Structure 1
Amino acid sequence: MNLIMQVLLKLSETLLTPSTLLLLSIIIFYFYNKNKKIILMQKMISGGSVNSAIELTLSQIVLGIIGGVIASILLGLLGIVFDANSSIILIFYISLILMVISPRYICFSYSGAILGMISIVIKLLNYFGVGFDGQTFLTVNVMYLMMFVGIMHIVEGILVMVDGDRGAIPVFTERDGKILGGYSFKRYWIMPISIFIVLSSNGVRLFNADIITDMPMWWPIIKAPSSVIFAGSLGISLLSLFGVIGYSSVTFTKSKREKAISSGVHILSFGILLTVVSQMARFDLIGEIIVVIFAPLAHEFMLRIQAMKEEKGTPKYVSNNQGLMILEISEESKFNEFGIRTGSTILDVNNEKFNSETELYNIIRENLYNADFNVMDQNGNLKKVKFRHKKGKRLGVVLVPKSVKKEEIVEINDVDFKEVLENINKEKKE
C-alpha cells in the first residue's frame, strides 16, 4: 500500500507543477480544437452534433489521467524498473518520429522494438569490444521495456472500451454494389505515468526526486535476470513522464459501441500476451531478439485479424427496398426525443415511399412540413413518429443511401480534417 501511495503522490506532485500545468493547457487547447472540427463535421453531415467539444476533450484528459494512474500502479507493483542511464524516455521521442512517418506507427510496439533493438546492437558491439560502453549508453532491460509496452496496451485497451466510440464520424463505402454505412474512429488520450528509476553511484541524476529506500520485501513481483538493485546504487526514485496514446479504426459491421469494445478487447489481449512473452528476454540475447521482433509483428497480426473480421463480417447499416436505415442521430434531432435508435429504418413519410434523403425532404415540404414517419427498429418493431418539422432545418439524422454518385463521394481516409470540410462544403454548394 505504501508503494501505491508513493506512486500516486509522485503523479499528483507532477500534475501540479507549473511546467506540467502549462503542458496540459497546451494539450487541452490542441485536443479542443481537434474536437471542434469533429463536431463541425458531425453538424455538416447530420445537421446536428452527437457530442460536444468540451465532452470529448474532458474525457480525453480525465480518462487519460485515470489510465495513467492505473498504468503507474501496475508498473510499480510488478517492479518494472529502468536504470537512470537507459534513456527509456527515448521511446516517446521515437514514437513522435514514427508518427511523422505515419500516424499508425505512433504505437509503443514499434518505438519500443526500435529502442530494444538499438540496445541489443550496442550490447553486441560492447561484447566484441567495439563502440560504446554498454553500461552507460542507451542500454535498457529488454524484458522490462516490453513489459512496459504490454502494460501500456492493457490500459489502452481499457480506454478504448470505455471511451473509444466518442466522436465517431459516419462514413460510407461500397461493397457488392451496395452502399454500406459505418463509422470512423480517431481518439487520443494524454497519459501521465510514473516509472521507477535506479540511480547508480556512477550514474547521472537527471531529475529531482526523493530516493526511495524502504521498498516492500515482496517487491518486485517480477525480477529481472540482472538484479533490480545494482551494487553501489544510490537507491530507487520515481520519474514521471507524459505520453499520448491513440486509437483509430473504421467499421461497417458493428455499432460504435460494439466496435470500441471489440477493438479494446483485442488491444488488451495483445498487451497481456506481450507482457507474458516478454519473459523470454530472460534468456540472454536470443530471447531479447525474439521478444523485440515479436512485439511489432504481433501488433500487426492483431490489426490484420480485426481487418479480416471486418472484411468477412455482415454489414450492419444497409438500406433496402423497405426504406432507408438510420446511421446516426444528433442530440437535437426529434427522432432522439421519440426514442428512435441507430439501425432503425424509416419505411415511409406521410405514407409515401422515398429512395433518397432529397426525396424525403421534398415530401415533407409538400406537406407543409408536417411529418408522419413509420419507423421499424432492428427487431422488426414498428413505431410512428409524428412532428412538425421546422423549415430550413435538417432532421438531424444520417441515412444510408441506396446509391451514391461517384462525384458526390468525399474520401476521409488519411485526409486532413480541413480538406474533408472543404470537400463537404464544395459538395453542398454544388
Structure 2
Amino acid sequence: MYGLYQILYFTVIDILNTFKSPFFIVVLGIIYIQYIKIGKIEKENIGYRRSAILKLITSAIFGALGGILTTVIFLYLGVVAIPTDYMYILVVSIFLSLINPRYMCFSYGGAIVSLCSLIIGYPKIEISQVMSVVAVLHIVESILILLDGGRNRLPIFLEKGEDIVGGFNMNRFWPIPFVIFIGDGLIQPITLMAIVSYGDYSISSYPRRKVIKTSLILFLYSAILLYISREVENPFLPPLFAILGHEYIILQNKIIEERKTPIFTHIDKGVRILEVLPDSIGTKLGISTGDILLKINGIEINSNKDMEDFTKIKAKRLKIEVFNMKSGLTTKKYYGKIKSLGLIIVPRDF
C-alpha cells in the first residue's frame, strides 16, 4: 500500500509539472483549436456555442486522471514504455492524423511501427511492449469515454430517405501525461504524453447508451489486444489485430447506425425534443432529450415557429404539456421572463 502511495505521489507531482511544459501547452493549443471549430458548427446548427475554454479545462482534468491511471496500470502489469519506442509511435500517429484525423489513434501508429520493425528491421523495438502500451492506452481511453465521452454532444440533422432525422455527434479530446520510472539503481520518473480522442455519432440510440456501448466494446478490444501482446508468441498477430480489430469496430458501428431505425424522428402531433440547452427554461423545467412537447398554454405545438411565437408575445407564464416515455404525460409550469425555451426539436424539413 505504501508503494502505491509513493507511485501516486510522484505521478501527480510530475503530471502537475507537465502542465507548465511548452509541449503540453502546444498540445492544449491543438485541442483548443479543435474545440473552436466544433463551436462554430454548434453555432450554425443550434445557434448556441459552448465555451471552448471550459471544454479544454474538463479535457485537461480528465486527461490528467487518465494519466494517473495509465501510470498505475503500467506499473502493476509490468508494461514497459520505452521512451524511444514510444516516440516512434507518437510521430507516426501525428503524421497519420494529417491524412485523416481518425488515424491519430495509437492502434495504427503502434501497429505500423511494429510491422516495419518486423518486415524491414527498422526501428528496433520490443513488439510485445509497444503493443502492450497501445492496449493500455486504449483501456484508459475506454474509461475516459465512459466518464466524459458524452459531454458537449452536438445535435445534428440528417436526411434518411425522404425524412429528416436527428442525432448527435460526440467529439472529445484528452491530453494524457503519464509517468514511467526508469533506472536500475536510482529510479527516475519520466513523463510522456499521449493524445486520445473520441469521435462518434448516434441516430439509433440515446447518446448516453451509445457512449456506454462504445466504451465496453473498446475495453473488450483493448483487453484482447493486451492479452495477445503479452501471451501470444507470433509477433505479427498483435499489430495485425490492432489494425483489423479497430477497423472492424468502426465498420460495424457505421453499419448498425445505417440499418437501425432512427429514434429522433419528427411526429404528426407535437414536436420531439432532440436537445435542451443548458441554463434554459427547458432545463429548469426538467425537459429532456426524447420528450415530446405537445402544448404551450393550451395551444398545440407542431413546429419551431409555434414555439418562437410564444417568445414574441412576451408571456410571463407558461403551461407546457410534455410526454415522457417513463413518466407519461406531465404538465410543467414556468413563471417569469421568457427569452427562449432552449429546446432543439426535430424538424419536418430543413
Query: TM class, shorter-chain normalised?
Result: 0.7 to 0.9
Q: Which residue does the alignment assign to 1:316?
A: 263
Q: Does the alignment pair 1:243 with 2:241?
A: no
Residue deviations 1:159-200, cap 9 Å, x none? 000000011110011224222111111110010122355xxx
**Structure 2: stretches of 5+ with no match in the other structure:** none
**2:48 & 2:94 partners in 1: Cα distance?**
34
Greater RCO, 1 or 2 (C-alpha within 8 Å, sep 6+): 1
**Offset at residue 316 of structure 1 (A):** 2.2
**2:124 & 2:170 partners in 1: Cα distance?**
37
**Offset at residue 147 of structure 1 (A):** 1.2
Is the Cα contact below 8 Å between 1:48 and 1:331 reproduced in 2? no
Q: Does the alignment pair 1:119 with 2:66?
A: no
TM-score, structure 2 as length reference? 0.88
Q: Which residue does the alignment assign to 1:188?
A: 173
Matches within 5 A, 1:127-276: 138-195=123-180, 211-213=183-185, 238-276=189-227
Matches within 5 A, 1:412-423: none
Q: Which residue does the alignment assign to 1:396?
A: 342
Q: Which residue does the alignment assign to 1:202?
A: none
**Offset at residue 402 of structure 1 (A):** 1.7
Read off the aligned partner of 1:315 and give its amino acid letter.
Answer: P
**Offset at residue 2 of structure 1 (A):** 6.3
TM-score, structure 1 as length reference? 0.73
Q: Which residue does the alignment assign to 1:421?
A: none
**Offset at residue 331 of structure 1 (A):** 1.7
1:377 to 1:13, Cα distance in 2 relative to 1, 3 A = closer
SS at the partner of 2:349? coil
**Offset at residue 400 of structure 1 (A):** 0.5
Is the Cα contact below 8 Å between 2:293 and 2:301 reproduced in 1? no
1:320 to 1:16, Cα distance in 2 relative to 1, 3 A = closer
Q: Which residue does the alignment assign to 2:24?
A: 24
**Offset at residue 323 of structure 1 (A):** 1.2
Give the one of 88, 102, 119 matched to 2:86: 88
Is the Cα contact below 8 Å between 1:372 and 1:386 reproduced in 2? yes
**2:179 & 2:139 partners in 1: Cα distance?**
16
Is the Cα contact below 8 Å between 2:107 and 2:134 reproduced in 1? yes
Q: Does the alignment pair 1:381 with 2:331?
A: no
Q: Percent identity?
A: 27
SS at the partner of 1:402? coil
**Offset at residue 327 of structure 1 (A):** 0.8
**1:264 & 1:9 partners in 2: Cα distance?**
28
Bigger Rg over Cα: 1
**2:212 & 2:19 partners in 1: Cα distance?**
35
Is the Cα contact below 8 Å between 1:47 and 1:396 reproduced in 2? no
**Offset at residue 350 of structure 1 (A):** 3.5
SS at the partner of 2:272? strand
**Offset at residue 389 of structure 1 (A):** 7.8
Identify the range of structure 1 (271-280 vs 306-315) with the bigger mean alpha-carbon deviation. 306-315
**1:297 & 1:257 partners in 2: Cα distance?**
27
Identify the range of structure 1 (262-271 vs 353-362) with the bigger mean alpha-carbon deviation. 353-362
Q: Which residue does the alignment assign to 2:14?
A: 14
Residue deviations 1:192-231, cap 9 Å, x none? 122355xxxxxxxxxxxxx344xxxxxxxxxxxxxxxxxx
Is the Cα contact below 8 Å between 1:88 and 1:140 reproduced in 2? no
Q: Which residue does the alignment assign to 1:130?
A: none
1:37 to 1:295, Cα distance in 2 relative to 1, 3 A = closer
Q: Which residue does the alignment assign to 1:68?
A: 67
Q: Which residue does the alignment assign to 1:223?
A: none
**1:212 & 1:60 partners in 2: Cα distance?**
35
**Structure 1: stretches of 5+ with no match in the other structure:** 124-136, 198-210, 214-234, 405-430
Q: Does the alignment pair 1:326 with 2:273?
A: yes
Read off the aligned partner of 1:195 and give its amino acid letter.
Answer: I
Residue deviations 1:121-165, cap 9 Å, x none? 244xxxxxxxxxxxxx62111111111111111100000000000
SS at the partner of 1:59? helix
**Offset at residue 310 of structure 1 (A):** 2.2
Identify the range of structure 1 (40-49 vs 356-365) with the bigger mean alpha-carbon deviation. 40-49
Read off the aligned partner of 2:114 and give its amino acid letter.
Answer: G
SS at the partner of 2:302? coil
Identify the range of structure 1 (365-374 vs 301-310) with the bigger mean alpha-carbon deviation. 365-374
SS at the partner of 1:239? strand
Read off the aligned partner of 1:119 and give its amino acid letter.
Answer: S
RMSD between aligned residues: 2.9
**1:240 & 1:176 partners in 2: Cα distance?**
51
1:2 to 1:388, Cα distance in 2 relative to 1, 3 A = closer
**Offset at residue 14 of structure 1 (A):** 3.3
SS at the partner of 2:299? coil
1:87 to 1:266, Cα distance in 2 relative to 1, 3 A = same
**Offset at residue 382 of structure 1 (A):** 1.6
**Offset at residue 364 of structure 1 (A):** 5.5
**Offset at residue 238 of structure 1 (A):** 4.5
SS at the partner of 2:123? coil
